[in-house]
Amino acid sequence: MHTSLQLFGLTLMEGVNAAQGTGTPTDLFGDAGIFTTIVNVLLFIVGALAVIMIIIGGLRYAISAGDAKAVSAAKNTILYAIVGLIVAFLAFAAVNFVLGSLVGGGTAGTTV
């Protein structure tokens, strides 16, 4: 009885390795890990959306023409964009700290 599954002359792991693209990260965590890449992309998207919303809020404030309701809506847009950005950065810091503490090898969770 064979311990490895063979299909078309390849073992299962050889097939998996052949299907992996060149330069594709194999680690889940770490500097070039999949998780780190996903978190960085999501943080970039959140940052870009927050900047766009701050600009939209500023434009709404500028064209409000003194209407109290429009000014309030514009201020709320800016406030919520800033709060969202702060929450995103705090979530990033918390995830980075937890992963650094659990996985090790990172700068988070280490003592000097």
Q: Where are the domains of the chain?
A: 27-103
Shortest CA distance to 47 belongs to which of 97, 96, 91, 86?
86
Lowest mean pLDDT among 17-26, 61-70, 87-96: 17-26
Report the pLDDT value the prediction gives residue 32, as an integer from 0 to 100. 61
- Are 100 and 110 within 8 A, CB to CB? yes
Cβ neighbours of residue 27 under 8 Å, at least 6 residues apart? 33, 34
Look over the chain and give the mean of its residue pLDDT values, rounded to a whole number. 78
pLDDT of residue 76: 96
Q: Residues 92-106: what's their mean pLDDT?
A: 74
